[in-house]
């Protein structure tokens, strides 16, 4: 009985692996665009000046003049191209913090320098597109 269960479990694992591999090959073969190519659209905000010098979730100190960002799920060190959809200006930032801005419907918090480069300081927020860079 125990041997039959182990054999059945092994067969199930093999089936799951081959099915997963086939699904991966299918999605590659159909050339579906990845999230990095399509981009994620949403609202961005930026850090207040009072956070300058404080530690981020990654352990780095926040720098108003750096090109960094806070994102809720992307790994620290991820490079993102952020484009302001209103004026088409873009900047590259590195994720080094987490944010509590999801309650406000925002997908990213930018450093002050990045926000200035995007031309969003006066408005406070901007509709942006995020693209993950490799």
Domain residue ranges of the chain, discontinuous segments joined by +: 1-32, 35-133
pTM above 0.75, yes or no: no
Least confident of 7-16, 53-62, 92-101: 7-16
pLDDT digits (tens, 9 = 90+) for 10-53: 443 343 443 333 333 333 333 444 444 568 999 999 998 899 99
Mean pLDDT of 64-73: 95
Q: Given this structure, which CATH class describes domain 35-133?
A: mainly beta
Mean pLDDT of the chain: 79
Contacts of 68 (CB under 8 A, 6+ apart): 56, 60, 62, 93, 94, 95, 96, 97, 110, 111, 114
């Amino acid at each position: 009985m125990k041997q039959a269960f182990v054999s059945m479990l092994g067969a199930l694992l093999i089936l799951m692996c081959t099915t997963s591999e086939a699904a991966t090959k299918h999605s590659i073969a159909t050339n579906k665009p990845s999230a990095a190519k399509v981009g994620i659209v949403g609202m961005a905000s930026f850090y207040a000046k009072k956070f300058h010098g404080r530690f981020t979730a990654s352990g780095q100190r926040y720098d108003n003049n750096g090109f960094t960002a806070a994102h809720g799920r992307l790994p620290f060190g991820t490079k993102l191209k952020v484009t302001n959809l209103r004026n088409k200006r873009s900047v590259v930032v590195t994720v080094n913090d987490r944010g509590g801005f999801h309650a406000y419907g925002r997908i990213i918090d930018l450093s002050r320098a990045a926000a200035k480069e995007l031309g969003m300081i006066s408005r406070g927020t901007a509709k942006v597109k995020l693209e993950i860079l490799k």
